[in-house]
Chains A and B, each alone.
Chain A
């Protein structure tokens, strides 16, 4: 148990729809990072939030967006879903200079 909670655990969406995934970080952690993991691949960095500001972004299009709230929880939003967005989405929390602790992930299926 890492103390990082993600919801929902699974969901199915239709191509073109929008989705919001949620992450509650471990108590005290002020940094949240999001990763996408396609089947058979390692996790790919999407973006990171530190104290409610984006603190780095990977090679993902603008339809992937995020928020971090004052309590350091976070949301990942994906607009105009595509079939290739089907993946496990992982949230990791940390202090800015500490090890990342991952949640169990949200399995998104786009049909």
Chain B
């Protein structure tokens, strides 16, 4: 079973920031926070991951709370192509990548 909890769905206006929350109530010290997304009829796509510090790449930013019990994925300027199911996952990442997906958050970007 998935170890994270996410809202079932969210809407975001095109051009605005999309903030997707995730609760990691059972995350352990050696587990990273990973975010993947799945656009309809495609395989999941890696977005970003982090351990303790906030991270940013060309796709998104990841904010992790100090106690690591929650994280937020930020898409700074959402486009229609960002409409997808977004998954947050706790994983040790070291010699693993046997990922446990939940149901994710369906993000709909509205024109």
A residues neighboring B (CB under 8 Å): 2, 4, 31, 33, 35, 40-45, 48, 56, 58, 90, 92, 94, 96-105
Contacts and interface: CB of A to CB of B under 8 A. Distances in A.
Given A42-B2, A42-B101, A43-B101, A2 B43 contact: yes
26 contacts: A2-B45, A4-B43, A31-B97, A33-B97, A33-B99, A41-B103, A42-B87, A42-B102, A42-B103, A42-B104, A45-B98, A45-B99, A45-B100, A48-B98, A56-B96, A58-B98, A90-B43, A92-B97, A94-B97, A97-B95, A99-B46, A99-B49, A99-B97, A102-B43, A102-B45, A104-B42
Interface residues of B, number: 22
Question: Among the interface residues B43, B44, B99, which one has the most CB atoms of the partner chain A within 10 A?
Answer: B43
Nearest to B46: A99
